[in-house]
Amino acid sequence: MDSQLLTAVLAGITLLLFLILRLKIQAFLALLIVCIAVGIIAGMPAKEILETMRVGMGSTLGFVATVVGLGALFGGILEQSGGAQRLASYMLTKTGEKNAPWAMMVTGFAVAIPVFFDVAFIILVPITYALSKRTGKSLLLYAIPLLAGLAITHAFIPPTPGPIAVADILGADLGWVILFGFIAGLPAAILAGPVYARFLSGKLHIEPRVFEEKKDYNEATAPSPSLIISIILIPILLIVTNTLLGSPLFEGVAIPVAVQYLVELLGHPFTALIIANLIAWYFLGVRRGMQKDYLLKVATKSFQAAGIIILLTGAGGAFKEILINTGAGEMIATGLNDTIFNPLVFGFLVAALVRVLQGSATVAMITAAGITAPLLTEGLYNVQQISVIVIAIASGATILSHVNDSGFWLVGQYLGLTEKQTFRSWSIMTSIIAVVGLGMSLLMWYFL
């Protein structure tokens, strides 16, 4: 029986990579096909295979679809208001040109929390061009820190879709994921950002091309940096506060029932993001003269990018449920106990393998989460350890972005790099993030 289950898992992973890489089938469809294939090879009845997929898909999307949708809506309003560019400009004013790489890193780190990676990069990349032209230094000195901040937040810190999806599939707590994401992300951002950028820019000088800044941006009418920072922090602080009050840190502390009720209600990701959206809708939209019809169009457009993330996550949940119901997950867990790998390292390696082979960080995270989730069903790991595994998987899914990743071409195109230069800059930067993220995850794992 074990050999049959092992064959089912290996065949499923091989089929998934073949469908995506060779046949170029969309990952959502490929994941569903693999669910059916694994169920057939494992000997599940036909009705049970399809029912398992339905349950896995539905249970996953109940949470993820809501949070990802609210996050996309929040990011859309922030983007259209000009808040991201205003925040970057403010950071540069405070730090000066000498510390501009650090300002770009912090800006990327903050902006990518509500805004999708590629959108945030396109909005902010003109600032790196302006800095490079003003100082005469390599464009990479400013672009790499920006990219590091964007990439780390995009992978490590909810409410971005990747960590939300992995956290839901593994059963992690979003508050702990946010905390551990910051703890692991800051060292990774520093080393992969300003530190690596200073080293690289001394060896690879890139002149900025002619680049037109977004014409409809007016700094005089853009929202204030303090308002932008406050709105971004509101959902994060609410979620983290709820998590901390429910943790062993406050065990035995007499908290009034009314306060506990209020924190639990407002600190849930649903409520926290609804509040952030309403505040953004009013202060970044209505109060600044945006017509309600225009805001409605912005909101509708922002959901387009979220759709594929939601569907992919649902398919990943179906894959996880198939592995659990076939018993393959339990078999892998038993085998893992006899090796030197713990679930954290296992999740990192699976995510890294899928990432390198097929390119998409989101697919790598969801696939790795689906394969790793059954290892955690025995109750051997606490909520903090499971949350650290989320960061490890995110780290693995970030590693070595290359020619099969759309981000590789996006960065190369906007920075005017050759493929070789993109490897030397972007690909190595993503690998530094992955290695540092794994190292920090292991440190936290052994302290928990």
User: Inter-axis angle of helices 383-396 and 174-190, to 10 degrees?
Assistant: 40
3-state per-residue secondary structure call for 140-179: HHHHHHHHHHHHHHHHHCCCCHHHHHHHHHHCCCHHHHHH
Mean local confidence (pLDDT), 240-268: 80
DSSP reduced 3-state for 340:
coil
Which pLDDT band, with edges at 50, 70 and 90, does 443 fall under?
very high
Q: Are 231 and 279 in contact (CB under 8 A)?
A: yes
Considering Cα of 431, then 432, then 433, then 434, what sign does the dihedral take? positive
Cα 165 from Cα 67, distance rounded (Å): 10
Q: Are 336 and 343 in contact (CB under 8 A)?
A: yes
Q: Are 328 and 5 in contact (CB under 8 A)?
A: yes
At 212 the pLDDT is 46
Which pLDDT band, with edges at 50, 70 and 90, does 219 fall under?
low
DSSP reduced 3-state for 49:
helix
Q: What are the pLDDT digits (tens) for 104-153?
A: 999 888 888 777 787 778 777 877 887 888 788 899 999 999 999 999 99
Residue 435 has a CB neighbour count (10 Å cut-off) of 17
Spatial CA neighbour of 360 closest among 312, 322, 392: 312
Cα 70 from Cα 302, distance rounded (Å): 10
Mean local confidence (pLDDT), 59-80: 79
Ramachandran region of residue 382, left (φ > 0), alpha (ψ -120 to 50) or beta? beta
Write out the two tokens for 316.
């990943």
Between the CA atoms of 320, 322, 327 and 333, what dihedral angle is there, to the nearest 10 degrees? -20
Mean local confidence (pLDDT), 42-49: 91
Distances (CA, A) of 57 to 17, 65, 156, 305, 313: 21, 11, 23, 19, 8
Read off the amino acid at residue 325: N
Residue 69 has a CB neighbour count (10 Å cut-off) of 18
Which pLDDT band, with edges at 50, 70 and 90, does 278 fall under?
very high
Read off the amino acid at residue 348: F
Cα 9 from Cα 39, distance rounded (Å): 9
Note the maximum CA span of the chain.
Answer: 68
Cα 225 from Cα 439, distance rounded (Å): 33
Of residues 182 and 236, more confidently modeled: 182
Extended beta strands in 54-119, E state: none
Cα 441 from Cα 447, distance rounded (Å): 10
Write out the two tokens for 396.
């693995």
Counting Cα atoms < 13 Å in the Cβ hemisphere of 224 gives 5
Residue 92 has a CB neighbour count (10 Å cut-off) of 19
Q: What are the pLDDT digits (tens) for 298-313?
A: 888 877 767 777 887 7
Give the pTM: 0.76
- Which H or E run includes 298? helix 292-326
